[in-house]
Amino acid sequence: MIPKRNKKQSLNRRRQYLLYYSIIRLIPDPIKRLLRTIYYVPIDIIDNLRGRDDLTPPRSLITGSRPADFKNIGEEFKKYFLELGCLEPNNRVLDVGCGIGRMAVPLTSYLSPSGEYYGFDIDKRGIEWCQKQITPRFNNFHFQRPDIYNKFYNANGKYHAHEYKFPYKDNYFDFVILYSVFTHLLPGDLGNYLSEISRVLRPGGRCLTTFFLLNNETEPLIQSGVSAFDFKFTFDGYATIDKDTPEGAIAYDEKPTRELYKQNGLEIIEPIRFGWWCGRDTFKSFQDIIVASKQHTSCFA
């Protein structure tokens, strides 16, 4: 959890995020992308003239968080990969929904040449940037764009998430990352992805995933209005902020989520590290973090 000496700073950060998300979530995604481009392209030009870091993407391409948080979030989760997930330099890593390399960039300085990183995402511009900027410098980092349907990003996609088979061999990876992916997947998609994670993980392999989890603590906070998201549309086992486009933000009931991990041969490494998205005072990160393994290893003893 957050150390006591950092609590005031963390709560101030939470208030800033709550204001940011309360505004941004009201804007439709196509309009957000257009506004982001209009606003950030001039800033990107200035950054280029000043000599922008080659492993920092243009601000106009960064989605899912504020551009200023790109490096901070990556470094934050690199720490979790090592401390909570026992990631080692020679591991094979799969990053599902890798976007524009938020998790990949910090790992370039950690994975050894004998380690491997594979990332996939439907965001064409993000994948193209990673292929152009990261892979030429680190030839053990690989990126691809699957043809998965998405209402906004890939409307003509061949596959749906509930039927998509990860393009990797069984038992190949030591570590699988899903950052802010399950917060946008419907139950059928979630179940399939957990099945695929279990398939591609080697025995003893670990996965680190993030969620919005509903339980006895979060529900009163949501109802009181302190949550960053108002999950007011409830369905069987999950809730969303928009019944017409539920993938915008989805929260899952904790108990059936735990059971789904178990059904797919993934053992949750306790405790779940809960986030502040709902307005709680004691937290680890923004979203809830689940670390799971096909079996316990000495790292978790």
Alpha carbon separation from 80 to 77, 181, 296 (Å, rounded): 5, 17, 18
Q: What is the pLDDT of residue 301?
A: 41
Angle at 49 between CA 46 and CA 53, to 5 degrees: 95
Strands 288-293 and 233-235: what pairing? unpaired
121 neighbors 99 (Cβ within 8 angstroms): yes
CATH code, domain carrying 203: 3.40.50.150
Q: What is the pLDDT of residue 179?
A: 97
- Which of 2-16, 100-114, 132-146, 167-181 shows the lowest mean pLDDT across its residues? 2-16
Predicted confidence (pLDDT) at residue 300 exceeds the cutoff of 50:
no
198 neighbors 263 (Cβ within 8 angstroms): no
Identify the domain containing residue 225 by its residue range.
4-300
Residue 43: pLDDT band (50, 70, 90) is low
The mean predicted confidence, pLDDT, of the chain is 87
Number of domains in the chain: 1
For tokens 């995402």, what's the residue?
121
